[in-house]
Amino acid sequence: MTLTTSHAAPAAHDTLPAARPAPGDRTATSRHFLMCPPVHFDVVYAINPWMDVTVPVDTGHAVVQWQALKAAYEDRGHTVDVISPVPGLPDMVYAANGGVVVGGKALAARFTYPERQPEGAAYEAWLRESGPARGMVSLGQAAERNEGEGDLLWDGEVMLAGTGFRTTRAAHAEVADRLGVEVLTLELVDPRFYHLDTALTVLSTASGSTVPDGGTRAEIAYFPQAFTPASRAVLRERYPDAIEADEADAAVLGLNAVSDGRHVFLTHRATGMHAALRERGFEPVGIDLSELLKGGGSVKCCTLELRPVPAMQDDPTPAKEARA
Ligand code: ARG
């Protein structure tokens, strides 16, 4: 497959806000991830357009590529927990789908397709057993059809929630209720981008509760054509300064990225995204997950972020409540 080379810098430079961080100004915060080694990875069924059961998979190569992603995280100070892969669950490597964890509350997934349904219980068991030592409590499996961080991306302030192919609107309501978060529903329309995390990535999370009060809005990148016109309008309004990725980057799953606020881990093939990220002061880290692309996933799919409750409650600083 050839890459489009038309990644000329956007002509909008002069109009960009002056306060954009310069390269080097971005600060990484250490993250806690859960990953699953692809020792049982294969393509033996097709539940998304990327999967072709006639194309052979090199499982050994998938493992080597996956190890390089894990090492890339660890080399930059992130913690990676590993869940035991279960034989007969070839897609379990896509840990993002296992659940969603915000504020120490872990809601495990309930998968759409029978082939993946046992993964929900496997991830729930891990979150229940390993959670308490890590500042998390398991809320069990979602009652509604919910594919975890595949469709639920936390921007620090709201949960961006995809629907259209997998996770349902009823699941969005359940997430709002059980995790106690605001949810923003976004509708996907292109089967290649069947999970929200294939079409949108959070680059930096919001801090503070409102922008006028001095907090900062999250920054995102997304592929507009993956969404309905109504959802595009919602995204443009909420994130006017977002990176809008092009077809060439989206088509190599360049939006399926993980950011720590400074480093952005994504496929090395998304060259336009790499340039756009650099221009905004992020440091792209190119990752080759070509084998796992055969299952329809890339960097983010292989990574579930755990957001435990901070261990220490002894910070004497009062919570920022500047209400007069
Ligand atoms: N074969 C898997 C599926 O179709 C791929 C999941 C990719 N994961 C993700 N977070 N997008 O369910």
Q: Is the CB of 97 under 6 A from ligand 1?
A: yes
- In this prediction, residue 25 has a pLDDT band, given cuts at 50, 70 and 90, of confident
- Sign for the CA dihedral angle at 251, 223, 303, 41 comes to negative
Of all residues in the chain, the percent with pLDDT exceeding 70 is 87
Q: Is the CB of 301 under 6 A from ligand 1?
A: yes
Beta bridge partner(s), residue 146: 110
Q: Is the CB of 305 under 6 A from ligand 1?
A: no
| Residue among 44, 91, 116, 153 whose CB has most ligand 1 atoms within 8 A, to mutate | 91
Domain residue ranges of the chain, discontinuous segments joined by +: 30-310
- In this prediction, residue 12 has a pLDDT band, given cuts at 50, 70 and 90, of very low
As a whole number, mean pLDDT of residues 101-117 equals 98
- Beta strands across the sheet bearing 283-287: 258-259, 263-267, 283-287
**pLDDT for the residue numbered 215:** 73
Distance CA 172, CA 95 (A): 19
pTM of the model: 0.89
Question: Which residues lie closer than 8 Å to 242 by C-beta, 6 or more apart?
Answer: 219, 220, 221, 222, 235, 236
Encode pLDDT of 73-90 as tens digits: 999 999 999 999 999 999
Encode pLDDT of 145-204 as tens digits: 999 999 999 999 999 999 999 999 999 999 999 999 999 999 999 999 999 999 999 999
231 alpha carbon – ligand 1 mean position (Å): 22
Kindly report which listed range (9-23, 25-39, 117-131) carries the lowest average pLDDT score. Answer: 9-23
Distance CA 297, CA 280 (A): 25
**What is the token pair recorded at 56?**
């052979």
Determine which residue's CA is closest to atom 7 belonging to ligand 1. Answer: 297
Residue 10 has pLDDT above 50, yes or no: no
| Residue among 48, 116, 302 whose CB has most ligand 1 atoms within 8 A, to mutate | 48
Encode pLDDT of 270-316 as tens digits: 999 999 999 999 999 999 999 999 999 999 999 999 999 976 544 44
259 alpha carbon – ligand 1 mean position (Å): 19
- In this prediction, residue 6 has a pLDDT band, given cuts at 50, 70 and 90, of very low
Of all residues in the chain, the percent with pLDDT exceeding 90 is 84
As a whole number, mean pLDDT of residues 236-241 equals 97
As a whole number, mean pLDDT of residues 122-137 equals 97
**pLDDT for the residue numbered 209:** 55
Q: Is the CB of 47 under 6 A from ligand 1?
A: yes
CA dihedral 129, 135, 136, 137 (to 10 degrees): 80
- In this prediction, residue 207 has a pLDDT band, given cuts at 50, 70 and 90, of confident
**pLDDT for the residue numbered 213:** 59
CATH of span 30-310? 3.75.10.10
CB 47 within 8 A of CB 113: yes
Distance CA 294, CA 248 (A): 17
Q: Which atom of ligand 1 is nearest to the CA of 166?
A: 12
Distance CA 6, CA 143 (A): 45
195 catalytic, yes or no?
A: yes
**pLDDT for the residue numbered 278:** 98
Mean pLDDT of the chain: 90
Question: Which residues lie closer than 8 Å to 283 by C-beta, 6 or more apart?
Answer: 23, 26, 262, 263, 264, 277
**pLDDT for the residue numbered 19:** 61
| Residue among 97, 113, 256 whose CB has most ligand 1 atoms within 8 A, to mutate | 97
- Within 6-157, where are the H helices? 59-75, 117-130
Catalytically annotated residue among 172, 195, 263, 274: 195
Beta bridge partner(s), residue 158: 182
Q: Is the CB of 297 under 6 A from ligand 1?
A: yes
Largest alpha-carbon pair distance within the chain?
65
**pLDDT for the residue numbered 9:** 40
Which of 138, 180, 140, 136 has its CA nearest to residue 159?
A: 180
Q: Is the CB of 295 under 6 A from ligand 1?
A: yes
Residue 245 has pLDDT above 70, yes or no: yes
- For β-strands 137-141 and 105-108, DSSP reports them as parallel
Q: Is the CB of 150 under 6 A from ligand 1?
A: yes
